[in-house]
Amino acid sequence: MLKNVAFPAKRELLPEMLKKITDEIDKHVKDSKWLNRLKVCSEEILINIIDYSGSDKVYITCEFLDAEKTLRFEFADEGTPYNPLEEKSEVDIDADIDERGIGGLGIFLYTTMMDKMEYRYANGKNHLIAIKKFSGKEAMAVAE
């Protein structure tokens, strides 16, 4: 479990942050597709904090609850109050190559992949919480 682990909010540390997260997920999730999806989701959220929040640190929580069936991510930062979930993603997955813009993919990916996203600003920090519930054979190795 990663519980509120602080990292300097620097791009060069992103691989280390993602490794800590994927090592944790790897203990619980055995479906390679979901391992990959959760890494993509984490990268999108972390890079937004690193590049745009103005925070010196990012705080990462990655825990499995509910008899290991529910993944809960929490990403916190001390930057400018900002709710990314208020940004409307304008991704049109049916658009053709000429119509397709290059923006909005990050938020589209993590809001599509995760079951539930929440934002709150508390104690001087942005908190972005992402929940994914796994059902039986979908992805989980039941905790030993």
Q: Which residues bind other proteins (CB under 8 A)?
A: 11, 14-15, 32-33, 35-37, 39-40, 43-44, 47, 91-98, 100, 102, 105-106, 108-109, 112-113
The letter for the amino acid at 52 is Y
By beta-carbon proximity to other proteins, the closer residue of 36 and 83 is 36
Question: CA 103 → CA 11, 77, 82, 106, distances in Å?
Answer: 20, 23, 18, 8
Residue 29's Cβ-side half-sphere holds a number of Cα atoms within 13 Å equal to: 29
By beta-carbon proximity to other proteins, the closer residue of 40 and 125 is 40
By beta-carbon proximity to other proteins, the closer residue of 45 and 140 is 45
Beta carbon of residue 51, minimum distance to other proteins (angstroms, whole number): 9
By beta-carbon proximity to other proteins, the closer residue of 34 and 59 is 34
Beta carbon of residue 123, minimum distance to other proteins (angstroms, whole number): 29
CA dihedral 65, 68, 69, 71 (to 10 degrees): 50
- Nearest alpha-carbon partner for 8 in 67, 42, 53, 57: 57
Beta carbon of residue 34, minimum distance to other proteins (angstroms, whole number): 9
